[in-house]
Each structure stands twice: as structure tokens, then as C-alpha cells.
Structure 1
């Protein structure tokens, strides 16, 4: 692994920049799903979790408001808890622990579509899987895995490797 890292060192800045740009582009992958919601005028069968975790929620066509408010309140609570933790914890420990927390949260966010697997298998219909979000998440994960290998960053390598397996 170290020889691979050494051979990729000349590309470190390029890979990091591309991964950053593609990550920002990934935030817009939900626009395709928003377009579908707008066309259908309904959100039936579409999980709100990818939107709550990654971008501002558009709720104009949401029929059940509690499906938006409850996860939003949980998200705000989690963010408040993380900021409180960062202010309270010893700065020498925050980088490692916060990195672990954020990595786990990103894995959960990217795996959110998998929460629908049971229903998909029962109905034998995968049309509810948000393909643009899943594809963008996979592509971004691959870029960050490559960047993690270049940096020999254990969080990025182990977590992202487990994600794509």
C-alpha cells in the first residue's frame, strides 16, 4: 500500500482538488430527484434522509409534514450536540474523535437508500432508489479512497474501503 501511495504522490494535489469539486457536485445530485418530485407533484416512495443530510429540504409538495419536521429536528439536535462536543472536548482529542464521528455519519447518509431494501425486495421494484445520489456517492467515495491511499489516512482508507465492498 505504501508503494502505491508513493507512486501517486505527484498526483496528490490533483486528486484532492478533483475529489473536492466532485463532492460539491454531488450535493446537486438530488436535483434529479427534485425534478421527479416536481413532475409527480408528490414525494411518495422517496426518502427524505438524503436531502436532510446533504442540502436544504424542498417541502412544497410534501403531503405528510411530520416526515420532514421530525428528521429535521433530529438533524438540528445532532449538529448542536457535535458543536457542543467540539467546544467542550480537549482540542488534541477532537481531531481523531470528530473525524470518526463525521466518517460514520457520512457512511450512514450514503447508506440511507439501503433502508428501503426490504420494501424493494417485497415489491420487486427498485424505482424508489435514488440512482443519481447513489452513483454520485459511490464515485465520490472512490475519489476520497484514492486520496486517502495517497495520504495513508487510516480513516479514509478503512471506512471508504468498507463502504464500497
Structure 2
């Protein structure tokens, strides 16, 4: 049975799992609403997700893939809601607006590029842009690797996001293989390795800070 016969099944599974992954930040929003403030919460997961949703949506239109278009429309909508919630509860709305303005300007530049690039090269070159941004977003938790090793704790890593990200990247890797799209294959092959690497840290280090565990033992 050729792989193309599994396209709809794999695409649907990837779509549903990605939706679940995109909904996971709602737990952060729930905590913000419960506390009544977004103080101490980094806005980049929301603003970054909103920006990547627009950029990946543009790529979906370029390759004319309905699954990618639909999932990124959903991603744009939920991240727009997350960003609104964060802004409403933000104690520093000016700083939030500045960060959002920078993100909007960056996305505008990226989308503007798609209007001036030749049709012959746009899919390949824009694919490179989305790949770099996508991998930077996935790899961002590893920027804290030094701190994780120093504290011997994975408390700062979001386990649900990483766990779901590992599953999602694997499913999109299969989808990329089926439709024979080099960028989707490369993005998600590297994304899967990065996510799995982060996931493996939970098997090495506990999710509870060492100091906190020591306090519990003393008590």
C-alpha cells in the first residue's frame, strides 16, 4: 500500500494533536486569570506563537496544503486570544505593546519578502526562513541548559509542551515524508530530535528543585 494512501489519516492525526499542543498555553492563561495579573509571566510564548502562526500560514498558502492552512489558522486564532488575555492582565502594558510592535514589524518584513521574491524561488527560500524560525522556537528551552545542569532540576521546563511537541513533530515528519516536502521533513526531523533531547532531560534530572526536595526531607 503506497504511503500516499495514508496522507489523510496521518494529516488528520497531526492536525488533532497539534490543536491539543496549541491549546496547552491555555493552562498558563488560566493561572493568569486566577491570580489576576500576568506579572512574572513571559509574553513571548504567546506573541511568538502568534507570529509563527502567521508565517506558517503564509507557507501553507505557498505550498497550497489545506492541512497546514487549517491548523495554522487555528493556531493564529488561539494565540491571538492568549495575547489579548496576557495584555489585559499585564501590569506593564507599554512594554507589552512594544514587544508586540516589534513582532508585528518582523512579521511584516517576512511577509513583505514573499511579495518581492520571484515565484521560481519563493517556496524554497521562504521554506528556509520558516525552518530557521521554527527550529529556534523549538530549541528555545535548551537556552536554559546551563541552568538546568547547574541546579540539576528540570523545574523550569514545561513538560506538557515538550511532551506534546515531541509527538507533534514526529507526526508532521511522517506527513512530510508522505507528501515528499523536504522542508517539512527537515523541520520536523530536527524538531523531533530537539524535543526528544529536552524530554530526555526529565529522565536525568527531577522536575522538583534540589533545594525544595531537601527542605521537604528536613521537614
Same fold (TM over 0.5): yes
Structure 1 position 155 matched with structure 2 position 177: no
Query: Is the contact between residue 135 and residue 190 of structure 2 (CA under 8 Å) also seen in structure 1?
Result: no
With over 3 angstroms needed to count, the CA separation of the structure-2 counterparts of 1:62 and 1:128, relative to structure 1, is farther
Name the residue aligned to 2:162. Answer: 134
- Whichever of the two has the greater Rg, that structure is 2
Q: 2:88 aligns with which of 39, 44, 60?
A: 60
Which one is further off, 146-155 or 109-118? 109-118
Query: Is the contact between residue 131 and residue 187 of structure 2 (CA under 8 Å) also seen in structure 1?
Result: yes
Q: Which has the higher helix share?
A: 2
Q: 2:110 aligns with which of 68, 79, 82?
A: 82
Structure 1 position 11 matched with structure 2 position 6: yes
Task: Let me know the Cα RMSD of the aligned residues.
Answer: 2.5
Between Structure 1 and Structure 2, how many residues are aligned?
160
Q: 1:113 aligns with which of 141, 146, 149?
A: 141
Distance 1:46 1:125 in 2: 20
State the 1:78 CA deviation. Answer: 1.4
Distance 2:37 2:146 in 1: 22
Which one is further off, 130-139 or 23-32? 130-139
Name the residue aligned to 2:26. Answer: 31
With over 3 angstroms needed to count, the CA separation of the structure-2 counterparts of 1:52 and 1:101, relative to structure 1, is same
Q: Which runs of 5+ in 1 are unaligned?
A: 1-5
Query: Is the contact between residue 134 and residue 187 of structure 2 (CA under 8 Å) also seen in structure 1?
Result: no
SS class of match (1:27):
helix
Q: TM-score, normalised by structure 1?
A: 0.79
Q: 1:69-119 CA deviation, whole Å, 9 max, x = no partner?
A: 343222111111012111111112111111221122122222233333344
State the 1:125 CA deviation. Answer: 4.5
